[in-house]
Structure 1
Amino acid sequence: MGCRTGYKDLCGRCVMDKLPGKASGLTGTDIPEYSFVAPDDGRVLADWDGNQIEAAVFNDLLEPAGEQAEVLARYASSYYAGTPALIRNRYGKGEAYYFGGAFAVDTAKVFLDKLGAGTPYGEVLELPECCELAVREKDGRKYLFVLNYASESVKAVVKKELREFFGGEVIKGEVELGAYEVKIFAE
């Protein structure tokens, strides 16, 4: 979750609860103060294990609330420097992450990578950034759809043997996808 989570109810009305509102128990986060990022602030950054991530637009100044809440990142710039910017809260069988800024594209990429969601099929396929991977499952079998959004051919790497759906051949290694081509593999 990011800044402003819990600010409005399901009907879009601002709630009078202290932020993050109804999400406070899940996030393990208290927000004693928040601020809009002023134009003269420049980029507000937070440090997450050496990764500088941008906390854009708004900044929630966070405090952990509860024994399961842990500070993972702190603001590294502006007057917020040193204040918690990211809290992980263990909840039930899972975890909730609350980030005190809006998600800039580069910040979202860091989150996806650090949380293991950036390349969930990285052990199976290595794709260029212009390709999308969609996975579907039917009758216990997985189908991997690789879509090339580029106007030119690109190369992908198939790291374990997969059967090409239409041709039926088993492929492992480098494979070329033509401009805007889609390939479907079966695991």
Structure 2
Amino acid sequence: MRRRAKLTSIVLMLIAGATGVISSTQTWLEVTISGVSAHSLPVPGASAVQVLAPLCLAVLALGLALSIVGRVLRYVFGALALVIALVLGWLTAQIVFTMPVAAVQTVVTKATGIAGLHAIAGLVGRISQTAWPAITLLACVVLAFAGVLTLATGARWNAGGRRFRADEHAKTPAAGPLDALDSWDGLSRGEDPTAGEQPR
């Protein structure tokens, strides 16, 4: 059960982060300028929500690091994932449900040279939406679930990987006399190989 919860949290974070990174490069909105009906301007996710790509890259890093961190950092990473999910979810939901002019402001300014939200609102004739904002909103829900699952179960996850346990075992003093290899290993770890010997 502990291993399943850990694996589920990590996989869900990686899926949510990868979805967000991919979504940032895809067209979210298409905006038509009034009086110009020849073509519409595509608005990628990175322009509609400018923090999308960096935050989703951070989520990928959290998911990758979650498999090796200790108990305290599990809580920190779980809380960070939840906060990122709430921030991105709020910003994405505004686009999904209201399609604000502010989301297309950067692209319209670049195409027309006109700045200012009020001026751009007068230029915009129509804004249509693709499926990517809804997909990203779903990814935010998945990320929030992963964060909550990490916070709820992280204390019961295994303490470390096999290599960590092997290193801990290697630090335990061996019973009985030490051979030459054991002595060299002890010296490499800064231990006194004669500390356990009885005086004659």
TM-score normalised by L of structure 1: 0.21
Structure number with larger C-alpha Rg: 2
Q: Report which of the two has the higher share of helix.
A: 2
TM-score normalised by L of structure 2: 0.20
Q: Report which of the two has the higher share of strand.
A: 1
